[in-house]
Amino acid sequence: MGPARKALHEDEGVRKYLVESTVGKKELSVNESKIVSLSSGLMAKEDIDKGCQIFNSMSFITCIDFSVTTICHHCLKGGGRLPLGDGVLPSIEPKVCSGCRRARFCSKKSGSVGIALDLLSCVINHSCEPNAFLCFEDGRVIARSLRPVQSGEEVTISYCEPMLPLATRRDYLEAEYFFRCFCKRCETDKREEKALVPHAVKSLKDLRHIQTAMVRLMNNTVAATNTPGKYPGFENITKMEADILGLSRRVLKDGAWPEHLDPMPLVRNSLAQIYLNKDEHFSALRNSLRGTLMSRYRNGPEWVNNLCLLTQCLVAIATQSPDSSFFNGGGFITLKETKYAISGYGLRLCKDASTVFGGKSKYTEFLCEWYSWIARSSDDPKPGTKEFEGAFWDAQKSLLAWADVDTGYGIDLGEMDVSGIDEMCAKAFNKLSIK
């Protein structure tokens, strides 16, 4: 009988090799995890500020589907090392998947079609409220911090889409990774769901069933719009929006589903992307405003991607003629206010992209180049001035009033402060009552 198998953190040689396999790293170590009993985890050996690179690693193995002929702006720029079948090389195009809008390969079904095996990344454990995330650029895996990480704290990432509801996240993690998550966010979500039962929800089982059904219906709608003709029953986006929102009203006694309660932010932003692709700009913008600003989470790649979508919706409207119905008699804000909103959200987008993805990432460079064009062509007051901050805030108030969004959800152009978001979500929660 052979020797007992050791955990990774119990083998000094393996621990050292894993950490030394990366470059540009903070002081790290592989130790026993405080999250998973008898398992290993990646620990910070020094304080790490928010928005810092934790490590940079060349993947041990990288595989991509032979059917892929293009790659998105985030993906493997070093495509010469990875021919896509019969020596065909991928073309580099700044495309964004309408389904996930993430830093990964995407198929027509919005599925990931690339797999990378990275040594140190394999040690990182899961949290639904992680302090780090992984992105893929120039053939390398980059780990970045989403918030300050203290020395001795374990580095965590999310193994699943973080905007999914609790039951869906847990089902996915159990099916794919064979564990049940009990992180701080899971426990917070669980308490909030239970608190709904005596006040507004018919039953906890009904709530979770409806949440799962909303996600499934939204996924079917995304798939139908990405492959026209294949799923004709899901192609009418207006009907699908009504069906999804109708589901949310079934379980609540007063029908008022809180906009911050998952999966509503995910649903809203998915609808916004589809409406934008169909040039239905007002519907896209209204869903984007509600899905982005009324979500309780304002950090990470999801926040940046959704803020980018919001800015794109505004740009699509601003390109219309000043004499069009968009700005005349329709109750929408003026063209000048729209331009102020674009400049303000675009400025915040560049700031947050730099923090989340890094100032030298291709995504951030692309966004900043695009924004610099907007800033140069904008009217006075110019972005970056005190006068502009006032003009932006006034424009944002008008925009939120049009979308029926409380101004408390608005963003400022200074440092990210999410303390007010929790207050707004609590206020929405407390409005629920039995009819």
Cα separation, 314 vs 321, in Å, equals: 14
Would you state the structure tokens that stand for residue 85, as one six-digit string? 């079948």
- The per-residue pLDDT for 249 is 83
Lowest-pLDDT range of 64-78, 148-162, 332-346: 64-78
- The per-residue pLDDT for 91 is 42
pTM: 0.83
Count Cβ atoms below 10 Å from residue 424 Cβ, excluding itself: 20
Residues 153, 26: contact at Cβ < 8 Å?
A: no
pLDDT digits 0-9 by tens, 170-200 = 999 999 999 999 999 999 999 988 888 876 6
Residues 288, 272: contact at Cβ < 8 Å?
A: yes
Cα separation, 423 vs 400, in Å, equals: 18
| Residue 53: its H or E element | strand 53-58
pLDDT digits 0-9 by tens, 346-397 = 999 999 999 999 998 888 998 898 888 887 877 888 888 889 999 999 999 9
The domain limits of the chain are 8-157, 298-405+412-417
Cα separation, 77 vs 142, in Å, equals: 14
Q: Please provide the CATH number assigned to the domain covering 8-157.
A: 2.170.270.10
- The per-residue pLDDT for 112 is 47
- The proportion of the chain whose per-residue pLDDT surpasses 70, expressed as a percent, equals 79
Residues 231, 223: contact at Cβ < 8 Å?
A: yes
Count Cβ atoms below 10 Å from residue 378 Cβ, excluding itself: 16
**Is the pLDDT reported for residue 5 higher than 80?**
no
**Is the pLDDT reported for residue 141 higher than 70?**
yes
